[in-house]
Amino acid sequence: MQTVKWGIIGCGDVTEVKSGPAFNKIPNSSLVAVMRRDAEKAEDYARRHKVPKWYNDAAQLINDPEVNAIYIATPPSSHEAYTLMAMQAGKPVYVEKPMTLDAQSAKRMKDAAALHNVKLSIAHYRRAQPMFLKVKSLLEDKAIGQVGLVRLQMLQPKNTDLIASSATNWRVDPKVSGGGLFHDLAPHQLDLMVYYFGNIIKSSGIAVQQNKHAAAADTVTGYIQFENEVVFNGTWAFNVADSQQLDLCEILGSKGKISFPAFGSKILLEIEGTIEEHSFEVLPHVQQPMIAKVVDYFLGKGENPCSAEDALPTMELLDTFTQEV
C-alpha cells in the first residue's frame, strides 16, 4: 500500500467537519468513496466534498477495488457487522467510538482482526490531540508529583450542544448506541483515563434513569482503581439546569493539580498556589491528528495509535458503570 484510499461507511453529520475533510489533507491519504443507505444523501455528500464515488450499499463500497481502507462512522449498533465485512475483504478498518455496543462485541472485533490478520484502529482521537498529549507529558514529568486522585464531572442539560446533530436522536436509543448520552460522551473521557493511568484493578458504578421518558440511564457515577494506585471517580448527569453545566477533569497530585475540560482548549496547572495556563488552538478537523497516525500505521510507518486492545477497557467500563440499568 503506497496510498491509503479511504471509503467511508456512514457519511453522516459527524463526518462533515470532524473527520471527513481530514482524509484528503494528510499525505499519502485520499477519500475516494462514501456510503450511506439514503442514496440521495450519499450523492449529496460526495458532490459537496468532491468525492469521486458514492454508494448506498456497504458491501459495494467494501468490494470496490480502488478502496483499500474503511472508515466506519455509523451508529455503534452496526460497527461490528461492518468491521467484520471489511476484514473478510482484507481491508484495514478505522472505526468510530464507542468501538461498538458492548465489551463482548468489542472482543469479537479484536479476535476477528487477529484471525484475518487485518489492521484495526479505534477513533479515540483525543490521544493524538496536542492538548491531551500535553496533559500526558505533564503527568510523565511528574509536574504535580505523585498522582492520587482524579475527579471528573460531566454535567449537561438534556439538550446539550456537545453532540453532533442527526436526523434522529439515535444516541439515546440503547439498541442503536449502547446506552444514552453517557455512551456517546463518556468514551472520550474514560479512554483518556486508561491512556494516562494504564491497567485497571477494579471498577464499579451506579446508573440511574431519572428521566422516566428516556430509554437509557441519564445519571451515572463510576469508580476506578488503577494498578498504579490512582483512584478515579466520575459523574455524568444529563438533566441539569443550563446554569449548572460543567465539563471538568481534575487530576490531583502530591504537589498540585491539573484541570481541563474534555471539550475545550485550556489546561490549568496549579502548583503551590501558582496557576499556569496552557491554551491550544481549536482544530478545524478534530480527528486529523489521529487519522494521520492511522494512515502511518496502515502504511507500515508507525504504531497503532489506538488498537482494539487499547479500546477494550473503555468498553468494559461502560458496561460496568451501567450494568444495573
The ranges assigned to domains in the chain are 4-124+286-305, 130-282
Q: Model confidence at 174, in pLDDT bands (50, 70, 90)?
A: confident
Report the distance separating Cα 124 and Cα 22, nearest Å: 15
- Angle in degrees, CA 110, 119, 63, rounded to 5: 105
- How confident is the model over 91-132, as pLDDT tens digits? 999 999 999 999 999 999 999 999 999 999 999 999 999 999
What's the burial of 3, exposed, middle or buried (CB within 10 Å: 0-12/13-18/19+)?
A: middle
Classify 59 as helix, strand or coil.
helix
Q: Which CATH superfamily is domain 4-124+286-305 in?
A: NAD(P)-binding Rossmann-like Domain (3.40.50.720)
Q: Does domain 130-282 have CATH number 3.40.225.10?
A: no
Distant-in-sequence, close-in-space partners of 107: CB < 8 Å, separation ≥ 6: 312
For the cut 60, the answer to whether the pLDDT of residue 165 exceeds it is no
Report the distance separating Cα 182 and Cα 177, nearest Å: 10
- Angle in degrees, CA 118, 124, 126, rounded to 5: 140
276 phi/psi in degrees, rounded to 5: -115, 130
In angstroms and rounded to an integer, the radius of gyration of the C-alpha atoms of the chain is 20
pTM of the model: 0.95
